[in-house]
Amino acid sequence: MILPIYIYGHPVLRAANAEVTPDYPGLHDLINNLKETMYNSEGIGIAAPQVGVNTKVVYIDVDVLAEDMPELKDCRLTLINPVVTVDETAPIVSREEGCLSVPGIHENVRRHEKIHLHWTDENWQEHDQDIEGYLARVVQHECDHLDQKLFIDHISPIRKQLIRSKLNNMVKGNIRCDYRIKVAPRNRKR
């Protein structure tokens, strides 16, 4: 099922996210919904909080980038309870990022080029892998959602000030997207 994507300013994006257990009800439905929602919105990664579910689940599919980055061919990951450890010795690289929850804004974000990732997949198999390059960036970006962070939290105060009006419009619900969205609830005066 294609779900609405929660937009910057909605409290669900800053709420704590629970670890998932093997008996989590509807886990496979959630994963399938994440996939359908991400593909419908033409993303390459999505985290459960972006569809209003505060659990530690991420889906990534970067195969679409394989023409320019062959190492991403057939790279699809379902991450349950992922743990990212940054390789502090790896170079830090600045690259442009965008986000389905912050539509229309792209900013350069500095991230380490290499990480270690521990996660459980949808079949409850545990994995440990060193990841580098663009995939490391995507994993860090999506796992940030599980830690109540957005990519704009990593940009300079000056850059954030320059996009402040766009962010304020998102909070107010003054935004148009090519996919279904859910904006922050408005405070109603009585």
Instruction: Please tell me the distance from the alpha carbon of residue 78 to that of residue 49, in angstroms, as a whole number.
Output: 15
Catalytically annotated residues: 142
Taking 3-state DSSP, the helix, strand and coil percentages for the chain, each rounded to the nearest 5, stand at 30, 25, 40
| Tokens describing residue 178 | 């090519």
Phi, psi of 112 (to 5 degrees): -70, 145
Instruction: Please tell me the distance from the alpha carbon of residue 183 to that of residue 164, in angstroms, as a whole number.
Output: 17
| Tokens describing residue 84 | 């990212």
| Tokens describing residue 112 | 């380490």
Say whether 97 sits in a helix, a strand or coil.
strand
